[in-house]
Structure 1
Amino acid sequence: MSVDEPLDDTNSPSRPFADLGPVTLLAMLESIGLEPDGRLLELNSFENRVYQLGLEDQPPVIVKVYRPGRWPDAAIAEEHDFARALAAQEVPVVAPLDCQGASLHHHAGYRFAVYPRRGGHAPALDHPETLQWLGRLLGQLHNVGASDAFAHRPALDWHWMARQSRDNLLAEGWIPHHLEPAYRSVTEDLLTDIDAAFRRAASWQAIRLHGDFHPGNILWTDAGPHLVDLDDCLSGPAIQDLWMMLSGERAERTGQLSELLVGYEQFRDFDPRELHLLEALRTMRMMRYAAWLARRWQDPAFPAAFVWFDTPRYWEDHILALREQAAAMQEPPLCV
């Protein structure tokens, strides 16, 4: 897989986890020398499958079973290597365990990794101290990310995140007929605006990123935060790991960004030209999310969990949200 290919593999089987049951999961652990005690708890995950499994006379572990067909082994190995490199520099990330000399394992047609269990809760993003702490964490993470490069992970590219997402939805008939003209119009304008934003940002530095740095992937404890789920790690601009911490009105987002950068710039300089990308990246994520749901719709877990997706109301709301983004894309970038 080249670094320009998209994160989502459309050739994944339609029922990728049909044979994944308790017997298989327990056998997975036994295959790498661990002794499960039969306790099993399924955790919230849709792209992959994630479980907490109990062990005999040891703390429980987290088992992540990768979606078949999505990543080649080399890309998963880079995910694990990046996590270990971060942990070695005391960046608080939950890295996979080495069992029998490896972190990526194969059993019964599945690939899986085992992680230590770590608790925590979502960060309080309305506290300036929390934002500064997360900024420091990201500054450290990006210093490690800039020290090497991915060879098998994708690079952030708006063409596949936005244009390809749009084209796939249209080609596969997901947009209700009466809404298709509105969807075509707003997305065509947005693609033009996204292209212009990347041109204004000029030659930003591509570094290794977490890639999906949202509050659900940050576990907070009394000792501070730690990060989980590097499944979407990729190369791209630093702002990709910052923008999902920002919400609310413009004044609120400006204040949040300022606090993040207070912490971030204690470890690493931030290129303000990347602020031209902020709303473009938000728009790209919205477009890609809709395409991701469509792409995974044959997986039985998706219709059960996202019952609202395949309805005209969803697409009406989606188009409205994209129009709001079109207005946001016309505003000047945030100032810090």
Structure 2
Amino acid sequence: MTAPAAYAGFGPQQVLDALDAAGLRGDGRILQLNSYENRVWQLFLEDGRAVVAKFYRPGRWTDAQILEEHAFALELAAAEVPVVPPLVLTPASSALTWLPADAPTLGVLPGPLPHRFAVAARCAGREAELEQPGALRRIGAFIGRLHAVGARQPFLAPTTMAPARDAAQARDALLAQGHVTDAERPAWADASARAVDAIAEAFARAGPLATLRLHGDCHLGNVLWRDGPHVVDLDDACNGPAVQDLWMLVSGDAATMRRQFDELLAGYEDFRDFDDGERRLVEPLRTLRMLRHAAWIAARWHDPSFPASFTFFGTPAYWSQQTAQLREQCALMAGR
């Protein structure tokens, strides 16, 4: 769904009105925060609190998916795992739909496009400094605690990771949407086909994997540090293998990544065992993310914020670079 349809005419006044209906009266101070997929505002309330309101992109998630995300965040908070859970709202208007009925965390504005929103306390933090002694081990322990809760039961509404399927769908979408420039299309089509096959082969070799509820998008931008790590943005929570929440935290050459992964696991395994065979899935998952990221940008290209933010996307140089990177990933997945 394009931004002009999804967010046309939607701005600060609508945000303030929605929070009023949720029993949260703003004092007029409002600041839009950076967010590509959703629209997010920070607001100061008349009672002195500061909150963050997130308006989910219409059509991206169902009510059931969002409510399971909220329930997971609240379950983590109850287990004293540092997360930023949604507030339970006290509705002041019956003109909106409030879900779930007994302890609502989700408001739904009426209209042809239902704008769903949630509110959380403002929680400041900074990006973790991984070079600090013990930082990776603390983050690993934090993720181990999160996964110990995540393993209690599966998600029912959110998706379960299926890397072979997801990679093929991303490639097909990019080819169908016409974003790959003509001159670069044959080389990119070949490299991406090889990458999709390599991802499928890697997961087939791995055999059946244990899955659990994951954060799903556990990169450093979503791991904030304030007296220790905590996570924000559970939008991409899903069922999948534990390695999905670990691999984005390591980078560098092979030796550096092994050392970083060892440090993460030194903390992680204080709370939960890790299947060491999942380490072999790091490069396939990195390749999958490359394909899905490009497909995500392409799918949102009609949102004015995307061309403004991703000016390199879709150029001949972009697709040449993508082709080269996919070839490198194929070599890494083949062990060369």
The secondary structure found in structure 1 opposite 2:143 is helix
Identity of aligned residues (%): 48
Cα distance in 2 between the residues matched to 1:110 and 1:189: 40
Please tell me the residue identity of whatever aligns with 2:160. Answer: A
Please tell me the residue identity of whatever aligns with 1:166. Answer: R
More moved, 286-295 vs 270-279: 270-279
Aligned equivalent of 2:189: 184
Q: State the 1:180 CA deviation.
A: 1.2
Cα distance in 1 between the residues matched to 2:324 and 2:87: 44
- RMSD in angstroms over aligned alpha carbons? 1.3
Within the candidate set 84, 88, 100, 1:94 is matched to 84
Aligned equivalent of 1:125: 130
User: TM-score by structure 1 length?
Assistant: 0.93
Residue 104 to residue 216, structure 1, CA distance change in 2 (3 Å): same
User: Is the contact between residue 139 and residue 267 of structure 1 (CA under 8 Å) also seen in structure 2?
Assistant: yes
Q: State the 1:13 CA deviation.
A: 6.1
Q: Verify: 1:257 aligned to 2:261, yes or no.
A: yes
Please tell me the residue identity of whatever aligns with 2:289. Answer: R
Aligned equivalent of 1:3: none
The secondary structure found in structure 2 opposite 1:58 is coil
Q: Residues 1-336 of structure 1: matches in 2 within 5 Å?
A: 11=1, 15-100=5-90, 101-108=103-110, 109-221=114-226, 223-331=227-335
Cα distance in 2 between the residues matched to 1:178 and 1:94: 46
Q: State the 1:177 CA deviation.
A: 1.1
User: TM-score by structure 2 length?
Assistant: 0.93
- Per-residue CA deviation, residues 91-140 of structure 1 (Å, 9 max, x unaligned), is 10000000123100012531100000011100011234110001101111
Cα distance in 2 between the residues matched to 1:14 and 1:144: 39
User: Is the contact between residue 181 and residue 314 of structure 2 (CA under 8 Å) also seen in structure 1?
Assistant: no
Please tell me the residue identity of whatever aligns with 2:149. Answer: V
The secondary structure found in structure 1 opposite 2:225 is strand
Gaps of 5+ in 2: 91-102
The secondary structure found in structure 1 opposite 2:134 is helix
Gaps of 5+ in 1: 1-10
User: Is the contact between residue 202 and residue 273 of structure 1 (CA under 8 Å) also seen in structure 2?
Assistant: no
Residue 244 to residue 135, structure 1, CA distance change in 2 (3 Å): same
User: Is the contact between residue 180 and residue 314 of structure 2 (CA under 8 Å) also seen in structure 1?
Assistant: no
User: Is the contact between residue 2 and residue 303 of structure 2 (CA under 8 Å) also seen in structure 1?
Assistant: no
